[in-house]
Structure 1
C-alpha cells in the first residue's frame, strides 16, 4: 500500500528505491477505526495523515454544538489541522474517521528532518501544500459565489463516490444546507 504514497510523490519528483526507503522510514503506519477521532479541538496536533484507504472528515463544532464539515479526506488525501500542525498549537478543527482507515502519518519533526535529508521531499511537500491551499480557495469561492446546486455538482466532481459512502446529513453539513434541501437537489 505504501506504493500509493510513492506514486503521489512521484507526480512531482522521481525517487530511487533507496530514496523511497528513506522517505518511508520517516512515516508510521496506523490503522484507525470508524468513529475514531484522531484530532480534537483544543489538543495539540502532532501528525499529518496520508490516507491509504478509508474516509475521514474535518469539521468545526460551533459554540452551539453544530458541526460544520470543512473537508472530506478520501484515499490518497492528506489530512490534518494544518494551522495547528505547522504552528505546533492546539487544534481548532476535529478530524474523525467515517470508515476504518489505513494511514501513514508523519510528525512535523520527521517531516522537517526528511526535507533536510532529501531536498526532493521539500519540493514535494511544498507542491502538495500548495495544491491543498488551491483546493481550499476553490471551495471557499464556490461557497460564496455558487448556488447550492452548483456546490453540490462541485462536490460530486471533487469527491467521486462520496455520496454512496456517507449519510446525506454529512453531505448537507458540508454544503451548509438542510437534509431536505439536499434531497431536492439529489433528486433533481
Structure 2
C-alpha cells in the first residue's frame, strides 16, 4: 500500500500515522485476466484504485454492440460512478485485461475519510474533477474530431497504452474499424 501513500501525496501531504488509519479503509483484491470486476446489473459497492494491471470499462447497447467508455491503468481510480454514488445497479461492465491488483474503497469509507480528513476530501475532489475533465475531453473529441485526430490525441495522451491493449479495443474506443486504425497507425508512424 506504499504506492497509495505516494499517490495521495502527489496532491496532499499526509503523515505516516494518518496513512496507517487511511489504509484501514481499503481492501486488496487480485483480479485475473478476463475476469469481470463489475458487470451490468451488479450493485456497485466500491470504487477502485489500480495497483497494477489494465481494465476496460464498456457498455453493451440493446443491439449487443460493445461501446468502450475507458481504459484504466495503474494509479487510476475507476468505477461505475453513477451507480457508485447513487448506490444503484451498474449499467457498465469492467473487465480485467491482464492479471491485476486493485484496492477497493466503499462509499461509506470514502465519506468517512472525507469527513475526518479535509486532506482526503480535497484529494477525492481533485481526482473526481480530473476524471470528469478527461471524460468531457473524450466526448468533445468523439463529437468533433475526425478519426486521425482522435487517434493522434489518444496516442499522445496514453503512449504507454498503445503496446498493452489489443488494437481491436483501441479501434472500438476511437469509434473506427480495425482496418482504419491500421491505416492511421501506419500513416502516423511514418510521419
Q: Same fold (TM over 0.5)?
A: yes
Residue equivalent to 1:169? 168
- Measured in 2, the distance between the counterparts of 1:85 and 1:160 equals 29
Q: CA deviation at 1:47?
A: 0.9
Within 5 Å, give how 1:175-186 maps onto structure 2: 175-186=174-185
| Partner Cα separation in structure 2 for residue 70 and residue 53 of structure 1 | 20
Deviation at 1:157, TM superposition (A): 1.9
Report runs of 4+ in structure 1 exceeding 4 Å deviation: none
* Counterpart residue number, 1:63: 62
Partner of 1:100: 99
TM-score by length of 2: 0.95
**What is the root-mean-square deviation of aligned Cα atoms in Å?**
1.0
Aligned to 2:151: 152
The answer for unaligned runs of 5 or more in structure 1 is none
Unaligned runs of 5+ in 2: none
2:90 — aligned with what?
A: 91
| Offset of residue 97 of structure 1 | 0.3
Instruction: Provide, for residues 110-141 of structure 1, a one-character-per-residue CA deviation record: whole Å limited to 9, x for no partner.
Output: 11111122221111101110110001011111
Deviation at 1:160, TM superposition (A): 2.2
**Aligned-pair distance for 1:102?**
1.0
The residue correspondences of 1:1-188 to structure 2 (distance < 5 A) are 2-188=1-187
Deviations 1:81-122 (A, max 9, x none): 010001101111111100111111101011111112222111
TM-superposed CA distance for 1:4, in Å, is 2.1
- State the Cα distance separating 1:150 from its structure 2 match: 1.1
The number of residues matched between the two structures is 187
